[in-house]
Structure 1
Amino acid sequence: MSERGMSVRELADAVNDAIGQLTGRPGATSERTVYRWLSGQNRWPQARQRLALEAVTGLSAVRLGFVPRGKQHDHDPVRPEEGSDVERRRFLGAAASTAAVTISLTPNASARPARPSRVGTADVVRLRAGIERLVALDDERGGHGLEHVALAGAAEALGLQERAATQRVRQRLFALATDYTAQAAWSRIDAGQLDGVEARLERALTLAGLAQDSERSMQVWNLRAMLARQRGAHHEAVAAAEAGLVTAVARRSPVHASLAHARTAVCLAHSGQARPALRHLARAEDKLTKADLQQPRSSWLVFYGPAELHSLTAIVHDVVGRPAEAEAASHHALAELGPAYRRNRAHTLARLALAQLHQGDIEQAFATSGAVFDVMAGTVLPGRLRLLLGDFQRDLLARAPRPMAHEWTDRYRTQWSGS
C-alpha cells in the first residue's frame, strides 16, 4: 500500500472492483476488513478476496504476508483448494484489464484489453503503476524518448475519467493525467528539445486544476522554472519557482517546501542574485531536516531527498562563484545517491568536474568528466547532460592547455555528440 500510495479505502475499492470482474457484481470488502488484514486478525482472506488481492498487487497471498489455514510457517507451500485453479484462471482473465499493476509501455490502443463500463479504483492503481514505471526508466537512463508513452498514458486517463464511478475517482484520473503530461514535458526538457514544452505544461497546469490537486500544481511550476532557466529566461524562472513556493502543499509539507526553496535558490543564482539564493538554500536545508522521508510520496517527488538537495546546492555554489563549496556538495550528493539514479549520478559528476575545473584542478576535472561517460555507458546521453558537458568543454578550452582540451574532445566526441 505504501509503494502504491494507496489508502485503506482505495485498497478495499480496488479489491471490490476486481471481484466485480468475476461475478458481475462488486465485492463487499470494507475498510474494517482491510484493517483486519493489516493487523493480522484475519490471516487468510476469503478465496475471492485473495485472488483479487493477487490481481491488484501482482503478488501471491503468501508473499503479501497471509498464512494459509493449517500452515505453521509463512514459507510453507500453499496447497490450492479444490477447484481453485479453475476459479483463479477465470478470475485473473476477467480482472486483468482493470486490476493488473504492471502496464505495457506500448501506446498501441489495439493491444489494450476492453474496458468495463464502470471505471474505479483498480484503473487508478493500474495507471499509477504505469507512471511509476516511466519514472523508474527516467531515473535509469533519462527522460528522453518517453514522451509518446507518457502522452498515451495521459490520453487513457482522460478517456477513463468520463466513465468514472465516483467524483473521487474522476479527480484521481485528472491527477494521473497531470502526472503523465508533466512526464511528457520533462522528457523534452531532459532531451534538450524545448519546443512545445510550454504548451504541455500549460495543459498539465489545467489538469492539475481540474484534479483540485495543489501538489500537481507545484509539480508543474517546478518544471516551468526548469524550462525557463534552461531557456535563459532567469527572471521568469524565479517567478515560476516562487509560484511553487506558495502552493498549498508547499505550505504544509516540509519536503515539498524544501524542493521549492532549493529550486528558487538555483533560479536566483542564475539570475545573479547570490545572497537571496543562499538564503533560500538555507531554508531548503532547514525544511528537509523537518521532513519525514519514510512517508510514501508521489512518484514525481521520490527523487527528492538529501542527495538531490546536495546536487542543487552544488549548482548554486558554483554559479555564485564558490567552487570549493560546490565540489564538497557534489561529493555529498554522490555519497547519498542510490544505484537506481544513474542519470542523476552522471549529472552530478559533470557538475563536480566543473567545480574542480573552476578551482584550477584541471587533471582531476579531466578524470571526473570521463566518469560521466562510464556511468552512462550503453545509453544515449540526454540532451540536458550533453549541454552541461558542452559547458565543461568550453571552460576546459579556456583554462586547460590546448593539447589536453583537444584530447578530451577527441576521446569523448562520439559519446558526447551522439543523438
Structure 2
Amino acid sequence: MRRRDFITATGGTAAAILTHAPASAAPHRIGTADIQRLQARFAEVIASDHRHGGRVTIETRAVQLADEALALQEHGTASQRIRAALYACAASFMSSAMWAAIDGRRFEAALKHHQKAASIAAMSGDSTIQFRIWSHAGSLFRHLGRPGDALAANDVARGLPIARRDPMFASLGHARHAAIHGLTGDTNAVHRLLGHAQDALERADAGASRPVWITAFYDQAELDSLALAAHLAAGSWENAEAHAHRCLALRRGTMQRSHAITTVRLAHAQLGQGDFEPAVATAMSVPVEVSTHPRVAGMLTAFGTKLHALAADGTPDLTWAQYARDIWRTTA
C-alpha cells in the first residue's frame, strides 16, 4: 500500500471512530433538588427506625445512602454551600446507621459508624448533625458501661453552637447527661441536670424549624424516658416509677418500641421496690411482637434474672418463667 493511501485509509478510520465515539458526559451539577431528595430518604430512614428500630436492614440502608451522598461529591460539581449540605446528608445517614447498630446491640459496628460519621460531619460544618452524632456516642458508651467516655462524648455535643442557640438541643444534652450520671450513682447531678433539661424544654420554641431527627422523637415524653433511665440506674426506684408513668401517658402512639422499653423499665422500677406481682404484670404487658427486639429482649431477660434472684420459686417468679418460656417458644 502506498504511503498516501495508508494515511488516507487510517485517517478515515480514525475519523469514523471519533464520529461514533460517545461524547464525554458533562459533570452533573449538584443542586438543591439533590439535597432535598437525600433529605427525603433520610426522613424515610427515621420513620423506619421508629417503626422497627435496631434492624440490620436499616443500618445497611443508611450506610448505602451515605455512600450515595459521598459519591455525588466525587462525580459532580457544586457550590461550597451544596457540598457542605451533601456532607451533612452523608453524616446524617451514618448517624442513623450508628443508632440502628446501638439499638440492635451491635456495638462494634456502632463504634465504626461513629468514626466515619464524626469525620464526615466535621467537613459539613453543621453543628446540628454533629450534635446528633456525639450525643449518640454518649448513649453508646453509656450502654457499654463506660460513663467516663459517655460524659466526654456528650460534653462535645453540649458544647456545640446549636446547644447554645436552641433550648431544645440544650434540653436533650442535659437529659442524656443525667442518664449517664445515673450510672455513676451521682443523684445530685441527676436531679440538677434533669432540672436544667426541663427548664430548657419549656423555653424551646415549639414552632422553630429543626431537623426531622430531633422533632421525630424529642419531647416531654422522651425527657421523662431519660429521667426514668437515670433514676433506674441510680437505684432511685420511686422516682423512676413516677417518670415511667408520666412517659407512658405522653408517649406518641407510633413509637411502639420506645413504649415497650419504658414499660420494661417500669417493671424494673417496681421490682426494685419489692412489688413483684405488679412488676410481672407490667413486664407481661409488653406486646409479643415487640418483645423480640434485641434491646427489649435483653431488658426482659435481665428482668427475669433479677426477679429470680429476689424471689426465687415464688409465685411471681414461676409465673414469669412460664410466660417467658411460652413467649420465646412462640417467637423462635
Shorter-chain-normalised TM-score: which range?
0.7 to 0.9
Moved over 4 A (4+): 414-419
* In structure 2, distance between residues paired with 1:188 and 1:405: 32
Higher helix share: 2
Equivalent residues of 2:291, 2:297 under 8 A apart: no
Q: For residues 161-182 of structure 1, give each alpha carbon's deviation from its aligned partner in whole angstroms, at most 9, with x where no partner exists.
A: 2314321111111101001111
* In structure 2, distance between residues paired with 1:293 and 1:413: 45
* In structure 1, distance between residues paired with 2:328 and 2:51: 18
Residues 1:165 and 2:78 aligned together: yes
Equivalent residues of 2:27, 2:77 under 8 A apart: no
2:139 alignment partner in structure 1: 226
1:337 alignment partner in structure 2: 251
1:238 alignment partner in structure 2: 151
Letter of the structure 2 residue corresponding to residue 333 of structure 1: C
Q: For the aligned residues, what is the CA RMSD?
A: 2.0
Residues 1:319 and 2:226 aligned together: no
Q: For residues 8-48 of structure 1, give each alpha carbon's deviation from its aligned partner in whole angstroms, at most 9, with x where no partner exists.
A: xxxxxxxxxxxxxxxxxxxxxxxxxxxxxxxxxxxxxxxxx
Post-superposition shift, 1:382?
Answer: 2.5
* In structure 2, distance between residues paired with 1:348 and 1:115: 54
Higher gyration radius (CA): 2
Equivalent residues of 1:381, 1:415 under 8 A apart: no
Residues 112-151 of structure 1: matches in 2 within 5 Å? 117-145=28-56, 146-151=58-63
2:264 alignment partner in structure 1: 350
- Name which of 85, 100, 104 aligns with 1:191: 104
Equivalent residues of 1:189, 1:384 under 8 A apart: no
Equivalent residues of 2:54, 2:294 under 8 A apart: no
* In structure 1, distance between residues paired with 2:209 and 2:132: 16
* In structure 2, distance between residues paired with 1:321 and 1:337: 23
Q: Structure 2: which 5+ residue stretches go unaligned?
A: 1-24
* In structure 2, distance between residues paired with 1:361 and 1:148: 42
Normalised TM-score (structure 2): 0.86
Equivalent residues of 1:241, 1:263 under 8 A apart: yes
Residues 1:273 and 2:186 aligned together: yes
Letter of the structure 1 residue corresponding to residue 122 of structure 2: G
Q: For residues 342-364 of structure 1, give each alpha carbon's deviation from its aligned partner in whole angstroms, at most 9, with x where no partner exists.
A: 11111111111111111121111
* In structure 2, distance between residues paired with 1:125 and 1:416: 43
1:296 alignment partner in structure 2: 209
- Name which of 179, 184, 194 aligns with 2:92: 179
Residues 1:217 and 2:130 aligned together: yes
Post-superposition shift, 1:297?
Answer: 2.1
Q: Structure 1: which 5+ residue stretches go unaligned?
A: 1-113
